[in-house]
Amino acid sequence: MPFVLHFKPQIRENSDANSYRRNPIHLRLVIVGIGFGRMKILIDMDGVIANIMPLWLKWYNRDYHDNLKEEDVTDWSIERIVKPECGTRMMHYLGYEGFFRNAVPYPEAKEVIQRLLDLGAEIWFVTKSTHYGRYMVREKSEWIAEHYPHIGQEKILFCKYKSVIPGDLMVDDYFQNLRGFNGIKVLFERPWNRNVAVDHFLSDGNKALFIKTGSWSDIVGVAASIHR
């Protein structure tokens, strides 16, 4: 049941009274503010807030004389999409200096995460640490310090199995990372998971709500559905 615990009037600062009628999301934000408490939201980095594709494909296209675009990557296993002579070598780029540091922020993510923070949510960035990541930890930390300085690099959790982390809501672009998570699971839609069926997740025994969306505004709506 919602209580007025973390309602912050400043959400009105960037909106006027009529904006609630124009944009239902604003109204939902008020509801979220009423019911939030200290909701813990776990957010993936690569493919969710940080776009690693521009540089990854630039380097690949340069080295393998190809013209692959982000929308062409319609499979999580990118080695199946690139030229056979590249194949799993595609993963080597993840170890190059500058790969993670030069990821491009998804602007919508920034805006909505700020709204969630204003409403009292606790944000954690949860990201995998891979064996390709020679520079990864330092560069991801620097990236967060630059693009989300108000949250800070101390809010990054580097791990392999994300689903063991307790939280109310997890946003990820890889369905396997969501498996077994006990809160609400949000698969953030990108070209590489577009063919993943939602009911694919329902077989893991976890009856928690699951959605697939490519809209950050929807995530605010999902958060609003959680009542403490």
User: Using CB atoms within 10 A of its CB, is residue 171 exposed (0-12), middle (13-18) or buried (19+)?
Assistant: buried
**Of the residues 26, 33, 46, 60, which one makes contact with Mg ion according to CB under 5 A:** 46
CB of 128 to Mg ion, least distance (A): 8
- Taking Cα atoms as reference points, which of 109, 103, 87, 107 lies closest to residue 46? 103
Instruction: Compare residues 28 and 140 and give the one whose CB is closer to Mg ion.
Output: 140
Report in angstroms how near the CB of residue 141 gets to Mg ion at its nearest: 17
Kindly give, in sequence order, each residue whose CB lies less than 8 Å from that of residue 35, ignoring residues fewer than 6 positions away. Answer: 2, 3, 224, 226, 227, 228
Structure tokens at 82: 């690139």
Q: Judged by CB under 5 A, which of 26, 36, 44, 100 binds Mg ion?
A: 44
Distance CA 97, CA 142 (A): 13
Task: Using the minimum distance from each CB to Mg ion, give the nearer residue, 36 or 148.
Answer: 148
Q: Which two tokens stand for residue 94?
A: 């993840």
Q: How far is the CB of 53 from Mg ion (least distance, A)?
A: 11
Q: Which is nearer to Mg ion, 46 or 139 (CB)?
A: 46
CA distance 103 to 54: 8
- In angstroms, what is the C-alpha Rg of the chain? 19
**173 contacts Mg ion (rule: CB under 5 A):** yes
Q: Does 163 bind Mg ion (CB under 5 A)?
A: no
Binding segment toward Mg ion, per CB under 5 A, in 39-47, 96-104, 145-153, 191-199: 39-47
Burial of 146: CB neighbours in 10 Å, binned 0-12, 13-18, 19+: exposed
| 47 sits near Mg ion (criterion: CB under 5 A) | yes
Nearest distance from C-beta of residue 136 to Mg ion, angstroms: 13
For Mg ion, which is the closer residue by CB, 5 or 91? 91
139 binds Mg ion (CB under 5 A): no
The answer to whether the beta carbons of residues 208 and 182 sit under 8 Å apart is yes
Shortest Cβ distance from residue 43 to Mg ion (Å)? 10
CB of 115 to Mg ion, least distance (A): 21
All residues at 6 or more sequence positions from 104 whose CB lies less than 8 Å from its CB, including other chains = 50, 51, 54
Binding of Mg ion by 186 (CB under 5 A)? no
Backbone angles phi, psi at 87, to 5 degrees: 50, -130
Region from 85-93, 166-174, 201-209, 210-218 binding Mg ion, contact rule CB under 5 A? 166-174
Name the residue nearer to Mg ion (CB basis): 29 or 186: 186
Residues that bind Mg ion (CB under 5 A): 44, 46-47, 173
